[in-house]
Chains A and B, each alone.
Chain A
Amino acid sequence: MDLPVVTAVRALRHSRDRFGFAVLVALGVYSAIVLLVPVSTRARELAVRRFHPAGWNFAAWAMLQPLPWMYNFENRLSVTYVRSEQRQCQPLVEFVNHQPYGRLFTPHDRYWYRECGGARVRLSSTYRGLTIETIYAVEPAPAARGLVVRSDR
């Protein structure tokens, strides 16, 4: 008995369904990238670094977004607020499930970054011997109500 993938590819080829082939190839390419992550240093670096995308070419980062990344890697967040009088402005150290860069933008985090006068945010992701760490300064935007994020090395 043939594997389902063999049956499907044979049927697509027989019917000359290029669209079906394209979808299958795209799935195959993205799956191959995921499978390479544990065994290839370059794939691992790529996969972990896309969680720290400041300084990336936006298009390159966006191309990797369809890779499934649910609860991927060991991501840690460490926040030191500029003003620490309020309880919510105390230093914070915790795990983040995925996409640690997202913790610069959630409504809750935006609010407290502003209320606490800005913050220094350290993000790190670890995967099988590789650790990527990035540090950001979140500052009140000059002459505006918002915030500015910049890499702070």
Chain B
Amino acid sequence: MPTPLRRAFVWLIGSIGLARLLLAHEYWERALFLISIPVEDPLFPTVLRDPLLLLAALAGPLAIELLVLWRPTVGRMRRAAVVEIASAAVLLTHQAGFYKATWIVVFWSGWLLAWLAWSGVRRPALIRTCGPFLAQAMVAFFFLGGAVGKWTAGYWAGEPFHDILFSRHPGIVYQHIRATFDEAALWQIATIYSRTIVIFETAMIGVLLLPPRIASVLIVVAGLGLWTSSIVLYEIVFPIFGLAAVTWHLSSSSIGRHELA
């Protein structure tokens, strides 16, 4: 197996595993509330309100992720990819997890992992031509979704961000901003912030067209930018860093020269 492929796989699955580990506390709390205050609603089937399924979908993949990080064999990589997709599919449709965007990134990343573990291993010549493009296409897709949903008058005026971040976000930075500026200034800050996000997310769709190494650096910078808005966004930023690593490693010039000989 080409070294860049192994590295790309390990980076992506490691970044997902780290996000998963950091979310464990939150999901434990969600599971406890599923038990103590179950909610019956018109959408979710009983099985997708089950606390054990929630915990299994969150924590189950950690075992195979650790095995891959320890020794990434082809068999383990394939099993891990399937487990990642299944876990994300459950978490995206579970009553206590469907509203967390992390699992969208993990779901699509799972398909990239599967492609690496099957097509990448069988046809190494494809790794460099298609691998970085698939990772870039996924990142562009996530930003496309984020951007299109914000092409509204409200986001252009900064109204949602004014309320969610600048009026009531408990983060220390937002508390400091609230204590420092009056309401009129807060509105101005929210408007500038919101417009910057809309323009930035729209521009990031173009990552699809960039050379892989430049795209990889830009994705990391964009991820860091997202992270500054809220520290808890690690849950989505880490897998995006993993996709940047895939783009970087799979564009390695060593593929196709030494390793495929």
Contacts and interface: CB of A to CB of B under 8 A. Distances in A.
B39 A24 contact: no
B47 to A, nearest CB: 11
A132 interface: no
Contact of B126 (A17, A30, A34): A17
Contacts of A113: 37
A84 to B, nearest CB: 20
Interface residues of B, number: 62
Interface residues of A, number: 69
Contacts of A54: 41-43
Contacts of A96: 164
Contacts of A53: 43
B99 A66 contact: no
B118 A19 contact: yes
B119 A70 contact: no
A114 B37 contact: yes
A96 B38 CA distance: 22
B141 to A, nearest CB: 6
Given A66-B107, A149-B42, A34 B152 contact: no
Given A95-B159, A104-B39, A149-B42, A71 B134 contact: no
A136 to B, nearest CB: 8
A72 B145 contact: yes
Interface string A81-112: 00000000000001111110110111100110
B98 A102 contact: yes
A26 B129 contact: no
Contact of B40 (A95, A98, A148): A148
A4 B131 CA distance: 11
A20 B160 contact: no
B99 A38 contact: no
Interface in B35-51: 36-45
B98 A70 contact: no
B144 A68 contact: yes
Interface in B11-33: 29-30, 32-33
B173 interface: no
Contacts of B32: 107
Most buried by B among A27, A30, A113, A144: A27
23 contacts: A4-B133, A5-B133, A12-B130, A20-B119, A23-B114, A35-B148, A37-B148, A47-B149, A54-B42, A65-B93, A74-B159, A94-B168, A101-B43, A104-B39, A105-B41, A107-B29, A107-B32, A110-B33, A110-B39, A126-B152, A127-B152, A128-B151, A145-B36
Interface of B: 29-30, 32-33, 36-45, 92-93, 95-96, 98-99, 101, 104, 107-108, 111-112, 114-115, 118-119, 123, 125-126, 129-130, 132-134, 136-138, 141-142, 144-146, 148-152, 154-155, 159-160, 163-164, 168, 197, 208-209, 236
